[in-house]
Each structure stands twice: as structure tokens, then as C-alpha cells.
Amino acid sequence: MRLVIKVGTSTLTHSSGRLNIRRVEQLCKVISDLKNADNEVVLVSSGAIGMGVSKLNLGARPSDMPTKQAAAAVGQCELMYTYDKLFSVYNHTVAQVLVTGDDIENNDRRNHFKNTVFRLLELGAIPVINENDTVSTAEIAVGDNDTLAAIVAVNVKADLLILLSDIDGLYTADPKKDSGAKLIPFVENLDDKIYSIAGGAGSALGTGGMSTKIKAAQICTDGGIDMIIANGANPEKLYEAVAGESIGTFFKGKK
């Protein structure tokens, strides 16, 4: 299978922004094993800003653009250093790919991006994709990595996109506020009801919330690609997802 796995800041870091070492080690181990079992994996990873905030001791996610971009520049190094180190343990090679919305919009640049990712997969590497936050401004940004991961999944013709988050999937209501909220295991149609329960809000360090995940599901399923929202707290669940077992919320791609 060709998998695109998106990891959110809340999965990679503690609320302080510091690396969640146990989690990231498990994630790299499982992804390495999935590769050893002949799956292709493209990782879309957030965490640059969050890790930069922690490394620069900024205390909280900055709101001004230059500080955010400076934090991303520092954090992106830390992120790739971490992946390089952890995947090397299992003899896997990572490749950093940074894009902006502009690169996706422009046909030529999008083709270069696709060719590079396909070549990296042929060479056996793990492309690690993030938005190029140091140069991205509102006008040219994709804006969030759920959307970016969906665009990547469609462009690389993935079999499945898995969005790993700090929630088990899509619920009938916000489970933080409503104890009667129930997990929706399967979504075939992204109708108004699904949109209305997706709400807003994300974590303190990340960007996405449920609404960006539903937008990602729309892009994916319109492009004929299946998508799963699952909790990143237990990376071993990726094995079940690849085996076709039900985890989190599954969105059926339109065939």
C-alpha cells in the first residue's frame, strides 16, 4: 500500500512543545516496520513551530509572523534531526520536502514536487513533508497540514491517508463537552450534518481542528482516496488500519 500518514503537533509533542519521546519512537518504529513489510510511506509532519517555540524558550505559540517563521526555522531542523536519528535505527532514510500553497497551485512546480516524491519512494526513502513555514504567508499558504496531507495524498495517488490526532475520530458532538458523544466509525457522504458537527478549535500549539480534517476528507474522498482520522496516542494502531480493520473514523473515497 502507498500510505500518507499525517502527524499533528499534539501527537509529536507534550503540551510544553517538547518532544514526546516515547510517542515519536513508537511512531518511527511502526512506520519502519510498515516499510519493511513493503508499504510505501509518505509522512506529513507538523511540529516545526511547536518544537521551535520550545527550543527558543518562547513560552507560548507566537502570534506575529516573523517570530512564528523563526520558530519554524529552528523547529524544522529539530524535527528532521529527530526523524533522521530515529529512522536510522531501523535503516531507513528520511528526505525533507517543504512546500507552500503556491507550489501546489502552479502546474510546473506541482509536477516537480510529484516527480521528486515518486523518485524518493522508488529510492526507498521516507519523504517527510511540511509547509515551508519560514516563507509561507497567508496569501500563499496551504495553512494547515490536514489540508496539505490531503493534497499530497491525492497527488501521489495514495491508497490511504491516515490523520493522526489527539482525538479518536469524528464524534457526534464534542466529546470534551458532551459525555454522550459517540464515535462515528464510518462516513460515506460528507453531508451538511457531518460539517455541522465538525466545529472548530485545535490545540494550543498546532493549527488544525476537526473542521480542517473534514475539509481534508472532502479533498481526499473527491479524489477517490480513503481517509482515516485516528488517535496518534497509540501508533501501533497503524497496523490495524493497514490491515483494513476499523480504527477511528473511516471516510470512503468516491470510486
Nearer to ligand GLU among residue 77 and residue 183 (C-beta)? 77
Residues 32 and 222: their CA atoms lie apart, in Å, by 30
Residues 94 and 128: their CA atoms lie apart, in Å, by 7
Nearer to ligand GLU among residue 8 and residue 223 (C-beta)? 8
Least distance between ligand GLU and beta carbon 82 (Å)? 13
Among the listed residues 158, 179, 176, the one whose alpha carbon sits nearest the alpha carbon of residue 167: 176
Nearer to ligand GLU among residue 68 and residue 242 (C-beta)? 68
Q: Which residues bind ligand GLU (CB under 6 A)?
A: 8-9, 46-50, 72, 130-131, 133, 144-145, 206-208
CA dihedral sign of residues 174, 13, 186, 200: positive
Least distance between ligand GLU and beta carbon 25 (Å)? 20
Distances in whole angstroms, Cα of residue 74 to Cα of each of 10, 54, 68, 70, 235:
18, 10, 10, 6, 26
Least distance between ligand GLU and beta carbon 179 (Å)? 28
Least distance between ligand GLU and beta carbon 113 (Å)? 16
Nearer to ligand GLU among residue 208 and residue 223 (C-beta)? 208
Nearer to ligand GLU among residue 80 and residue 242 (C-beta)? 80
H or E element at residue 108:
helix 107-122
Least distance between ligand GLU and beta carbon 155 (Å)? 18
Least distance between ligand GLU and beta carbon 248 (Å)? 18
Residues 45 and 87: their CA atoms lie apart, in Å, by 14
Cell readout for 125 is 526513502
Nearer to ligand GLU among residue 46 and residue 54 (C-beta)? 46
Among the listed residues 125, 164, 150, 130, the one whose alpha carbon sits nearest the alpha carbon of residue 216: 150
Distances in whole angstroms, Cα of residue 130 to Cα of each of 80, 101, 155:
11, 11, 15
Nearer to ligand GLU among residue 50 and residue 242 (C-beta)? 50
Among the listed residues 86, 82, 85, 84, the one whose alpha carbon sits nearest the alpha carbon of residue 29: 86
Least distance between ligand GLU and beta carbon 233 (Å)? 17
